[in-house]
Amino acid sequence: MQIAAEWLNPKKKKPKSQSRCSYHALRNNFSVIIFWIVFVIINVGLAAWGAYEGYRSVNDERHPAAIIIARSAGRCLSFECCFVLVLMLRKLLTILRNTFLMSVLPLDQHVIIHKIVAIFIIILSVIHTAGHIANIGETVENVNGTTAAWIRNVLVRPFPGLGLVEGSCIITGILIIIVLIIMTICSLPFIRRNGYFKVSF
C-alpha cells in the first residue's frame, strides 16, 4: 500500500541550478544588458574625449586635474541631457515599437531608464560644477583673506574666455544648477503621488 501511495504522489521537481537560472535571466534581459554596456562605452568615450581636450587646454593659470574633471563630466552631460529627452518621446517610441528594433531595444523599460539617466545627470552636474569651481578658485586671489570674499569672486565675477558668451560660464552654470534642483524636487515621488504631477513639467 505504501508503494502504491508513493506511486500516486506527483514527482518532486529537482531544484534548478543557479547557473540555469542565471542563463535564463541573462537571456530574458539581454537587450537591457547590451543597452547599458553601450551606454557605459559611450560615456567612457565622451569622458576620455573631454579629458583629452581639458589636458590640451591646460596652461600655467589653470589647475590640470580640475579642468580635466570638468571637461569630462561636461561631455557626458551634453549627451545625457539630450538622451534623457529621447526616452520620453512617445511618438518616437510608438514608431520604434512597429519596427524590428522592438526586439533589440528595451523600449518597455524606457521610464526606468529615464529615471536612471536623470540620476546620472545630477551626479555629473555636481562633478562638473565642482571641477569648474576648483579650476577657477585656483586663479582667484583670496581678497582680504576672507572666505566670503573668495566665494563672491568665484561665483559672481565674470571670467573672460569662459562660456559661449564671454564670461558667462559661472552665471549660467549657477542658473542651470538652480533649475536642476527645482526639477529634482518637483519630480520626487511624494510630490507626484499627492496629485501635483503637472508640477514636474
Residue type, 71: R
Q: Answer yes or no: do 167 and 74 share one domain.
A: no
Residue 20 forms part of a structural domain: no
Res 42: pLDDT:
96
Q: Which three cell numbers stand for residue 174?
A: 549657477
Q: Answer yes or no: do 72 and 171 share one domain.
A: no
What DSSP assignment string belongs to 150-182?
A: HHHHHHTS--TT-TTTTT-HHHHHHHHHHHHHH
Q: Residues 157-185: what's their mean pLDDT?
A: 72
Q: Answer yes or no: do 92 and 64 share one domain.
A: yes
Lowest mean pLDDT among 42-51, 71-80, 136-145, 166-175: 136-145
Q: Residues 101-123: what's their mean pLDDT?
A: 88
pTM (two decimals): 0.74
Angle, CA 131 vertex, CA 129 and CA 134 arms, to 5°: 105
Residue 17 forms part of a structural domain: no
pLDDT digits (tens, 9 = 90+) for 7-62: 566 666 665 555 555 777 777 788 888 899 999 999 999 999 999 988 887 765 55
Residue 105 forms part of a structural domain: yes
Domain boundary among 85, 105, 139: 139
pLDDT digits (tens, 9 = 90+) for 57-82: 776 555 678 888 988 999 999 999 99
- Considering its fold, how many domains does the chain have in total? 2
Residue 45 forms part of a structural domain: yes
Residue 14 forms part of a structural domain: no
Residue 102 forms part of a structural domain: yes
Res 84: pLDDT:
92
Q: Which residue has the higher pLDDT, 33 or 165?
A: 33
Q: Answer yes or no: do 52 and 96 share one domain.
A: yes
Angle, CA 152 vertex, CA 146 and CA 153 arms, to 5°: 95
Neighbouring CB atoms inside 10 A of 185's CB total: 11
Neighbouring CB atoms inside 10 A of 167's CB total: 13
Q: Answer yes or no: do 128 and 39 share one domain.
A: yes
Q: Answer yes or no: do 161 and 135 share one domain.
A: no
Residue 65 domain boundaries: 31-139
Average pLDDT, the chain: 77
Q: Answer yes or no: do 110 and 65 share one domain.
A: yes
In angstroms, the Cα distances linking 87 to 7, 109, 118, 167, 184 are 56, 9, 11, 33, 17
Judge contact between 124 and 77, C-beta under 8 A.
Answer: yes
Q: Answer yes or no: do 122 and 162 share one domain.
A: no
Q: Answer yes or no: do 166 and 129 share one domain.
A: no
Judge contact between 43 and 75, C-beta under 8 A.
Answer: no
Q: Which residue has the higher pLDDT, 61 or 183?
A: 183
- Residue 169 sits at φ, ψ, to 5 deg, of -55, -50
Q: Answer yes or no: do 40 and 112 share one domain.
A: yes
Q: Answer yes or no: do 115 and 161 share one domain.
A: no
Q: Residues 193-199: what's their mean pLDDT?
A: 62
Q: Which three cell numbers stand for residue 196?
A: 501635483
